[in-house]
Structure 1
Amino acid sequence: MTLKNLSLAFLSIVFFSQLHAQSSKVRPIGAMKDMGNTYDIHIWLDTLSNKKHLYGMGPYDKMKGEITVVDGHPYYASAFTEGAYQVGESWDIKSPFFVYGSVDQWKMFKIEGVFNSVGDIQQKVEQIAQEYGLDSNQAFPFRVTGNFDDLTAHIVTPRLPEVDGYREGVKSQKFSFKDTKGELIGFYSKNHQGIFTHTDSFVHIHFLMKDKTFMGHLDQITTAQKTFKLYLPKR
């Protein structure tokens, strides 16, 4: 092989390595703290160029519900009627803020719960990620699968009278489930409070039921001692 060909091969390796690093990077669009009372749209999900192995989350449209993208499948949930919810799947949805990243390979860890709060999950993710060697100063997605004893999740509802589904004085609906199987999809970051995590947390977590009939933002969780599977992006 000539020196020129070796140089081209080296540049190709560098290019594709950088491309892969960029594709797996967590990207926020818009910010939770900047929504104000107008909830201006900042992203139309159908415009995302690389949807394969995509993970992401944010509010659905102008607070019409929740969005969770799981391995390239875009789910959206709404709760316009008291005590009821609906889940659909489509790329033709928009959001005032959204966080996303592509992960094509995961590293699985078996973890022992008792989880009595979202904070317990954050602590376990921090611990395992540090032991695994992930840079805790960089945002990353994670997943937890298993059978959850008791959890509560909410779906936001419209706050503007001109938005379909608006009900005066109702900003969200909470739904509770017992002994349910599913997946927690989350994003961890120490540097994005007020962007895609609340100001008192380093995680933003959604719950997707195993049969895909419910999806919402995780509020509370209680589990007895049992084994769960934690997935972190493979290094």
Structure 2
Amino acid sequence: MRRGGAEEQAALFVVADVARWQEATLDADVPDGQLDARIEALLRERGLDAEGAVPVQVHGSLRDLSWHVIDGRKLAPGGGHADHARASVSGALAAAEGTLVGFFSKRHHGVFTHMGSNTHFHVVLPERPLMGHVDAVTLARGARVLLPAR
């Protein structure tokens, strides 16, 4: 981690300070289309707020991972989704070991989650090294989901 200077900017910056985490191990694969529902169920099972913004980490085996990173040097100010896609570097992996970091929120569609999605994740793959925004992923059985402890 490094400190940024005053001249640096971020298009999106959401942060949380979590004192303690609690862990849940997935007992089955969670395909991309079921990710929001599974995270919400884990939150509710633990008595956590499933409506507001909740930080989430996932550690373990990831499958069918697709990701992108927007190259800001190629992006014109005020661009929309199509402009972002054109300015992106993207990739896909059938399988990888890594970490997802992000948020679950039903209240932030179009703010820091995409419209129609309750989650926003970035993937970190230290062995590659690679980091990017997750477009799709299947969480493999045995992956560990970390949520804030109550």
The normalised TM-score by structure 2 is 0.82
Look at both structures and tell me which one has the larger radius of gyration over its CA atoms. 1
Matches within 5 A, 1:69-218: 73=1, 90-92=2-4, 93-117=8-32, 119-157=33-71, 158-160=74-76, 170-211=86-127, 213-218=129-134
SS state at 1:121 partner: helix
Shift of 1:223: 5.5
Q: 1:222 to 1:97 in 2, by over 3 A?
A: closer
Give unmatched runs, 5+ long, in structure 2. Answer: 78-84
Give unmatched runs, 5+ long, in structure 1. Answer: 1-72, 74-89, 162-168
- For 1:222 and 1:228, the matched residues in 2 are separated by 10
Q: What is the number of equivalent residue pairs in this alignment?
A: 138
Shift of 1:198: 1.1
Q: 1:212 to 1:102 in 2, by over 3 A?
A: farther
Paired letter, 2:15: Y
Paired letter, 1:135: D
Q: 1:187 to 1:212 in 2, by over 3 A?
A: farther
Aligned partners of 2:55 and 2:102 also within 8 Å: yes
- For 2:143 and 2:11, the matched residues in 1 are separated by 33
Shift of 1:124: 1.0
Deviations 1:50-103 (A, max 9, x none): xxxxxxxxxxxxxxxxxxxxxxx4xxxxxxxxxxxxxxxx33142123111111
- For 2:139 and 2:21, the matched residues in 1 are separated by 24
Query: Alpha carbon RMSD of aligned pairs, Å?
Result: 2.0
Q: Percent identity?
A: 30
Aligned partners of 2:26 and 2:142 also within 8 Å: yes
The normalised TM-score by structure 1 is 0.54
SS state at 1:136 partner: coil
SS state at 2:19 partner: coil
